[in-house]
């Protein structure tokens, strides 16, 4: 079944069951639709075979680690940053993934002046339209590289986009980040650092649909079986880029001071987490 045909079939089924009004609501929020077009990443890769580089892309970086000494201990990667719905699916998450990992989102130059570089993995929609149809929910992500990177990390920070209505933000304050996941310590660090930087945070446990507490969510499929997830409202993500430049091709070169502040807060939270005794090399 082709990309367009699958969209048509599923849209028709949804329309018959839900009616036009409900269908419009779903198509307006593809990141959290009632049913993804693809049941898993494997399903998507199979159905869209030959379309990588045209409709979607995958990018990742694992850092080389070597220890050939007898007595000296060397640092190891503790944290992986992920953007499961990057590119044109949930705008801004690719750029944030790269920057929080320690790389310039346009040049990919290493920029970790304030700490180490982190591993990262991202899936991006790069189609000319309908990128939201490429969304695969976090609990169904079975990309083998993504799973292996999560399973080999103590921590995962997974980045997502949501709507203000989903986040339940107060009237007149649509810019917010919902902090979720199963790692309580990580979430505390993220709340405190984002708030200190002037960003509004929402406790993910109060928003079940965005809580990220399912053990099968890839953010929790770490060595410690827990991680963290950020669901950022559209208004927040837009505010991190120059006005009028929130397109997929413009974003990497049009980040602003708020983007820098958000990235710095996330990296500070990671640094605090990694400084804990339970994160040390034994």
Provide the edge-to-edge strand list for the sheet that holds 177-180: 56-61, 119-125, 79-87, 155-162, 228-233, 177-180, 201-203
Residue 11 has a pLDDT of 45
Residue 28 has a pLDDT of 35
Contact 222, 155 (CB under 8 A): yes
Which string of DSSP letters, residue by residue, matches 21-72?
A: HHHHHHHT-GGG-SS-SSSSHHHHHHHTTT-BTTTEEEEEE--------SS-
Contact 142, 42 (CB under 8 A): yes
13 pLDDT exceeds 50? Answer: no
81 pLDDT exceeds 70? Answer: yes
10 pLDDT exceeds 80? Answer: no
Paired sense of beta strands 56-61 and 119-125, if any: antiparallel
Residue 1 has a pLDDT of 57
Residue 12 has a pLDDT of 45
What average pLDDT does the segment 196-206 reach? Answer: 98
Give residue-wise pLDDT tens across range 134-173: 999 999 999 999 999 999 999 999 999 999 999 999 989 9
Residue 184 has a pLDDT of 98
Overall size of the chain counted in residues: 282
Residue 7 has a pLDDT of 59
Give residue-wise pLDDT tens across range 216-261: 999 999 999 999 999 999 999 999 999 999 999 999 999 999 999 9
18 pLDDT exceeds 50? Answer: no
Measured from the Cβ of residue 165, the count of other Cβ atoms closer than 10 Å reads 12
Closest CA to 237 of 217, 263, 212: 263
Query: Which of 68-72, 153-157, 194-198 has the weakest average pLDDT?
Result: 68-72
pLDDT band at 16 (very low <50, low <70, confident <90, very high): very low
Residue 23 has a pLDDT of 31
What average pLDDT does the segment 6-12 reach? Answer: 50
Report helix, strand and coil shares of the chain as percent, to nearest 5: 40, 15, 40
Average pLDDT over the chain, rounded to an integer: 89
């Amino acid at each position: 079944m082709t990309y367009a045909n699958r969209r048509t079939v599923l849209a028709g089924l949804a329309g018959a069951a839900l009616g036009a009004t409900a269908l419009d609501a779903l198509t307006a929020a593809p990141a959290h639709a009632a049913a993804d077009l693809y049941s898993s990443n494997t399903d998507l890769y199979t159905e869209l075979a030959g379309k990588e580089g045209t409709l979607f892309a995958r990018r990742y970086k694992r850092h080389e680690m070597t220890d050939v000494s007898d007595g000296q201990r060397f640092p190891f990667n503790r944290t992986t940053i992920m953007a499961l719905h990057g590119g044109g699916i949930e705008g801004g998450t690719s750029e944030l993934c790269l920057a929080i990992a320690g790389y310039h989102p346009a040049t990919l130059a290493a920029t970790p002046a304030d700490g180490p570089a982190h591993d990262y993995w991202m899936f991006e929609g790069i189609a000319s339209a309908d990128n939201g149809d490429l969304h695969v929910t976090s609990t169904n992500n079975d990309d083998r590289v993504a799973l292996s990177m999560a399973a080999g990390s103590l921590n995962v920070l997974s980045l997502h986009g949501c709507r203000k209505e989903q986040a339940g933000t107060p009237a007149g304050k649509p810019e917010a980040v919902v902090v979720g996941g199963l790692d309580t310590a990580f979430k505390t660090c993220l709340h405190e650092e984002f708030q200190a930087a002037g960003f509004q945070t929402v406790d993910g446990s109060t928003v079940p649909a965005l809580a990220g507490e399912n053990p099968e969510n890839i953010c929790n499929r770490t060595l410690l079986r827990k991680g963290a997830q950020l669901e950022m409202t559209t208004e927040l993500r837009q505010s991190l880029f120059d006005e009028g430049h929130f397109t997929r091709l413009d974003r990497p070169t049009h980040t602003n001071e708020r983007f820098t502040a958000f990235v710095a807060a996330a990296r500070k939270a990671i640094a605090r987490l990694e400084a804990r005794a339970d994160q040390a090399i034994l």
